[in-house]
Amino acid sequence: MLHSVRSQRGMVTAPHHLAAQAGLAILQDGGNAAEATVAIAATLAVVYPHMTSIGGDGFWLIAEPDGRVEAISGCGGAASAADLALYEGLSAVPWRGPLAANTVAGTISGWEAALVATRAMLPLERLLRDAIHHAEAGVAVTRGGADIAAAKGPELRRQPGLWARIFEPEGRPLVEGELLRQPLLAATLRRLADEGLGSFYEGPLAADIAADLAALGSPVTAADLAMHRVELPVPLSAQIAGATLYNMTPPTQGLASLLILALFDRLEAGDADGFAHVHGLVEATKQAFLVRDTHVGDPAYMTIDPQALLDDRAALDAMAGRIDPARALPWPQPGQLGDTCWFGAADAEGRVVSAIQSTYFEFGSGLVLPGSGITWQNRGASFRLAEAGWNALKPRRKPFHTLNPALARFDDGRVMAYGTMGGEGQPQTQAALFSRYARYGINLQEAITRPRWLLGRTWGEDSTSLKLEDRFDPALYAALRAAGHAVELLPAFTATMGHAGAIVRHPDGQFEGATDPRSDGAVAAW
């Protein structure tokens, strides 16, 4: 039996062990869970550069000790110049390059909002200290990072900026264990510590960032950076048996994540990881994705109220009624790509944080700014080049996001933060680990370690099959195929299934945490 880590004073979990250690050190120095999460986020931007950057977007849920759940949306909008004319002659926004770097990066604004909301006391210099150290001194490249850099090198090294100089410094891909140094990024993090996080958007640092973006051909300007504002929406919530679930508002797919579990709550459960469990969640995923892919995007352009849908028991009953307990709904629908980092923290005051940040594709747009070492996201590559409709490109419009942090308050007083990377797989993995833990009573670490599945695409794959790790009971594969699922088996512990993590705060003040053996992560506690 695999067991979770337990502690009494505080806990963090992250997909890289150095980031987890950075967060734990903040808790030990008297910082709160939000301060620890900022330290984790900054360190991940250094040690996991293929997955995240300060040039991306980020979203937070914070469960406060008094019962409130606060949401922070650090999502940047499209540049003022990012309109259809800019992409004349193209059928889609490019996945890489200057025209893919068409949105403001909102991650830093999310950090600042979290620190303000939780009345943080530690200085920025302390919160960013470990990230600065690792960027200056260097960090050993992970196997996953080396593999991704090698695989994506042909399309990234030809992009303008410093990608090849940093990630192929000797004219070849970095290999596992080799030291990666990022002195320019270290200097930028030090400027943020000295000048304040707001300097990313206004002031000398912002001017330098804008000049770099302009030199590389991005449409994002200093005015776009200055216009950016973090948002503090009321998080989405859904009631299920024994718990209230929370997730992020649009433009994220948080609605889909909540719908999957709300629909599954209405189905027969069967045995853990048996046909009813896996088939039920896969079919609930299809129903949720049909809503997501029709309606979810920038809230200013949406035609439905997502919270109203989650509160409409009759509508949810009808959606669940469309799920055949024995047959698979014909699929596919278009999939969503994306890679990211989820991480969490909990402190002795009772605060629990679920956070996620990303550059969308591995290394984002591929643009690494020559003056700052920042890798800029390509989140705006998800926009459609259309005059109107779902996720159509418009200046300052927020792009659809696969990112979504999850959180739950149980009726018995437990608070759970959980999430994963993996684009299309994020809501599916959330549903797998939450249902195993909450509905079937499986140990938290085992819930994450057990084999997982993925309907649709992630990590650049074109296949939209139902992919399962090959550690399930073979009878399950046969039953799923007989029900009409296009089953595809993947190796055990494949990173295709994402890097999940979770923290649970129990009402007696105990903490329980787990991390994913598919990642380079760790749970750190004291």
| Number of neighbours of residue 409 by Cβ within 10 angstroms | 18
Lookup: tokens for 180: 């990666």
CA atoms within 13 A on the CB side of 185: 32
First to last CA, the chain: 23
13 vs 180: CA distance, rounded Å? 23
Three-state SS sequence of 322-376: CCCCCCCCCCCCCCCCCEEEEEEEECCCCCEEEEEEEEECCCCCCCECCCCCCEE
Q: Which helix (H) or strand (E) holds 400?
A: none
Of the listed 252, 340, 420, 496, which one is catalytic?
Answer: 340
Q: 341: which strand partners?
A: 357
Give the strand order in the sheet containing 339-346. 69-74, 57-63, 352-360, 339-346, 11-14, 522-525
Distances (CA, A) of 40 to 44, 212, 448: 6, 26, 20
CA atoms within 13 A on the CB side of 18: 20
Lookup: tokens for 291: 């809503």
291 vs 277: CA distance, rounded Å? 22
344 vs 355: CA distance, rounded Å? 6
388 vs 425: CA distance, rounded Å? 28
Nearest to 12 by CA among 152, 34, 3, 390: 34
125 vs 9: CA distance, rounded Å? 24
430 vs 427: CA distance, rounded Å? 5
**Annotated catalytic residue 340:** yes
The DSSP secondary-structure symbol of 69 reads: E
Lookup: tokens for 129: 């200290």
Length of the chain: 526
Catalytic residues: 340
